[in-house]
A and B are shown apart, each in its own frame.
Chain A
C-alpha cells in the first residue's frame, strides 16, 4: 500500500496529498461494521456491536437535547419579554397598562416535588450503573462453570419510575393548588407561563417514565442485557437533564415572578 502510494506521488502530482486512512482519527472516521445490510437488518444480525450502538445512542441524545433546550429557552425569552410589557389602554390614568400578576407558587409542595425528582435522578444513576455492571459481566456468565455468586439486584429502575410518577402527581397537585389560589391558565400571562412551562417539562419527563417502563418490561422478556443497557443508560442521562431543567425552571419561576 505505502509503496504504491509513493510510486503515485512520485509519478504524478505532488499537489494531491494522498493520506492513507488510518483508524482512530476521530470517531467519525472509524468504519462502521457491516451488519448484514441497511437499516432493516441491523437488529436481525446475530452479533450487533453494542458498544458502538451505545455511543451512537448517547450522541443522538446529546443532539436531541439541543432542540429541547431551545424550546424552553424560547418560552423563557417570551416570558421575560411579556413580563416587562406595557400595552396601550386608554382607560388607565397613564394610558398604559402592565397586566402581569405575580403567581403565588405553592413553594412547599414544589420543594417536595423537587426533592422527589432529585432522589429519582440519583436512583436513575444507580440503575444506570447497575445495568452497566450487568452488561460487563454478561459475557462471563455465559462461560460454563463460572459463578458470580448471588447477584445484588436492587430494583433501582422501579424506584426511579415510582419517584418520577410521584413527581408528576405532585405537579398535578401543584396545579390544583394554583387553581385554588385563583390562578387558572388564562388568568394572567404569568399563570399561563407557569402552566405551560410545568406542563411542557412534565410531558418530557413522562416520556422518560414511559421509556424506563419499557426498559423494565424488556428486562422481564429475557432480551440481551446489552440492549437494555442502552435504553437505561440513555434514559438516565435524559433524566438527569430533566432534573437540571426542572431546577432551572423552578428557580426561574420563583426568582423572576
Chain B
C-alpha cells in the first residue's frame, strides 16, 4: 500500500503540474498596460508555489513508502520534534509569503491610489440585471444626471439609465450596450450599478471590479492592443448572471472619434 500511495500521490502531482507548465489552459493574452506586471507576479507566485507543491507532495509520497511498516525490527525515531527546525521553517515561510505579497503591491497601488490622467477617456459603466451600459459624456465632458423614476430597462440605452433629459448636459451623453475604447489611451472608468452587485470582468485586460449599488467606483486602465474582447459578469447577480456579458472593441483613436461622432449624430 505504501508503494501504491507513492505512485498515486506522485501521479496526481505530475498531472496537476503538467497542465500548469504546458499552459494548456492559461490566462488569456493580456492586452492592458498592467497585464505584463500582473502576469509576471502570477508566474513568480506560480513558480514558487509549484516548487513547494512538488516538494511537499513528493516528500509525502516518498515518506509513506520509505517508512512503511515492512515487518522488520527497524527502530522508530523517538522524537518529539525539533525547535530549531520549527523556528527555521516558520521564519522562511513568513519571509517567502510576505515578501511575495509586497512584490506585487505596486500594481495594485498604481491602479487604485493614483487618479487617472487628465486626458483619459471618461466612461461610465452601469450594470443592471442583466446588461451592461456604457455612457460617454460627449464634448461637454460631464455626465448628466440620471433619474431613478425614468429608468426603463426594456427601452434600452439612454432610457434604461433614466437619463434626465431636462439636464442640459444630457444632450450629448451617448449610452451604448457595447464598449468602444481607443487603443493606448487611459480609460477613466466609473462603475455603477442600479440594482444588485455586478462585477465588470474583462479577462484580457486583467481587470475586474465589482459594480455596487450606492457607490460610484473610479478605476483606470490602458488597453494596449486593437481587438474585440469579452466582458463577463463575475458577481452573482440573479438568474441571468451567466448571460450578462458584453463586448469591448478596442480601436484606433481615429476610429474611436468617428464612432463617437456617428453616435452623437444619431442622437440629434
- Enumerate chain A interface residues (CB-CB to B < 8 A): 13, 15, 87-88, 90-91, 95
Contact = CB atoms under 8 A, between A and B. Distances in A.
Nearest to A15: B78
B268 to A, nearest CB: 24
Contact of B214 (A15, A88, A91): A88
**Which are the 5 A-B pairs with shortest beta-carbon distances?**
A87-B214, A90-B145, A90-B146, A88-B216, A88-B214
Nearest to B194: A88
A18 to B, nearest CB: 14
Interface in B209-268: 214-216
B186 interface: no
Given A15-B78, A88-B216, 13 more contacts: A13-B78, A15-B80, A87-B214, A87-B215, A88-B192, A88-B214, A88-B215, A90-B146, A90-B147, A90-B164, A91-B145, A91-B148, A95-B216
Contacts of B216: 88, 95
B122 to A, nearest CB: 14
Contacts of A88: 192, 214-216
14 contacts: A13-B78, A87-B214, A87-B215, A88-B192, A88-B214, A88-B215, A90-B145, A90-B146, A90-B147, A90-B164, A91-B145, A91-B147, A91-B148, A95-B216
A20 B214 CA distance: 66
Best-buried of B78, B145, B148 by chain A (most CB within 10 Å): B145
B149 to A, nearest CB: 9
Interface residues of B, number: 11
A19 to B, nearest CB: 15
A26 to B, nearest CB: 23
Interface in B140-182: 145-148, 164
Contacts of B145: 90-91
Best-buried of A13, A15, A88 by chain B (most CB within 10 Å): A88
Nearest to A95: B216
A242 B222 CA distance: 57
Contacts of A87: 214-215
Contacts of A95: 216
Contacts of A91: 145, 147-148
Contacts of A15: 78, 80
Interface string B103-116: 00000000000000
A91 B145 CA distance: 7
A13 B192 CA distance: 71
A50 to B, nearest CB: 42
Best-buried of B147, B164, B215 by chain A (most CB within 10 Å): B215
A13 B78 CA distance: 10
A90 B124 CA distance: 14
Contacts of A90: 145-147, 164
B57 to A, nearest CB: 32
A58 B241 CA distance: 51
A15 B80 CA distance: 10
Contacts of B215: 87-88
Interface string B84-113: 000000000000000000000000000000
A87 B217 CA distance: 11
B45 to A, nearest CB: 33
Contacts of A13: 78
A90 B190 CA distance: 14
A11 to B, nearest CB: 16
A137 to B, nearest CB: 53
A15 to B, nearest CB: 7
B209 to A, nearest CB: 15
Contacts of B192: 88
Nearest to B214: A87
Nearest to B79: A15
Contacts of B148: 91
Nearest to A88: B216
A121 to B, nearest CB: 42
A91 B167 CA distance: 11
A90 B214 CA distance: 10
